[in-house]
A = this chain, B = another copy of it.
Amino acid sequence: MKTSPKTRYALLGLLTLGPASGYDLKRLIEASLRNFWNESYGQIYPVLKELAAAGLATSRPDATQGRRARKVYTLTAAGRAALHAWLAEPVEPQPARLEILLKLFFGRHAGPAVNRRHLEQFRARNLAGMAQMDGIQAELQREYPRHLDLPYWLLTIDYGRRLDRAAVEWCDAALASLPASARQRPAETDRQ
């Protein structure tokens, strides 16, 4: 096994929605998993090839006259079984690397203006995220009101909204607690 196991299961999962090409899958990821997952073509195509080789999906050429040959992949029973097995496996904690926290941790050396700028940008990003979640939720409920997966999709939207909101609230608290303006300059020398 050469390629990433996680990419494999993301693709198997998306194939439960129906047969799709690599290109389709990329767009599907951008449309539905965007907030907590992403894949590049450089991953998708090799993994798809491997899924077919392992019998987890079948590929058939979809020659829609003229266009460059599309390869449409369809989940097999073995693929479905592999997905189910992975879904049942416990989730390992994943170490995060949050650059904004690293910068703020050393924030004394940056000066108030820089820290405020970072926080304001981060706040705006998370606020936009919340609005986006609201939009996606409305769209999902309008487009797929009876889709069996809808409750699960909404769960991931709710997660995004809650964490974005918490981040915005943290930004507000942080901005309130930091010195307001550049009265004090960044530390050039220290050692307490």
Residues of B within 8 A of A71 (CB): none
Q: Mark A34-77, 1 if CB is under 8 A from B, else 0.
A: 01111000000000000000000000000000000000000000
**Out of B102, B108, B186, which one reaches A36, CB within 8 Å?**
B102
A181 within 8 A of B: no
A162 within 8 A of B: yes
Please report the total number of A residues contacting B with Cβ < 8 Å.
Answer: 74
Tallying the copies of this chain within the complex gives: 2
Tell me the residues in window 126-163 of chain A with beta carbons closer than 8 Å to chain B beta carbons: 146-153, 155-156, 158-159, 162-163
Residues of B within 8 A of A156 (CB): 101, 104-105
Q: Which secondary structure dominates chain A's binding surface?
A: helix
Q: Are B90 and A94 in contact (CB under 8 A)?
A: no
Tell me the residues in window 68-104 of chain A with beta carbons closer than 8 Å to chain B beta carbons: 80, 83-84, 86-88, 90-104
**Out of B16, B93, B109, B114, which one reaches A106, CB within 8 Å?**
B16
Looking across the interface, which residue of chain B has its beta carbon closest to that of A14?
B106
Q: Are B91 and A122 in contact (CB under 8 A)?
A: yes
A118 within 8 A of B: yes
If A36-B101, A90-B121, A91-B99 touch, does A166 touch B155 (CB 8 Å cutoff)? Answer: no
Q: How far is the CA of A148 from the CA of B86 in the complex (A)?
A: 47
Residues of B within 8 A of A152 (CB): 104-108
Q: Are A159 and B149 in contact (CB under 8 A)?
A: no
If A90-B121, A102-B36 touch, does A159 touch B151 (CB 8 Å cutoff)? Answer: no
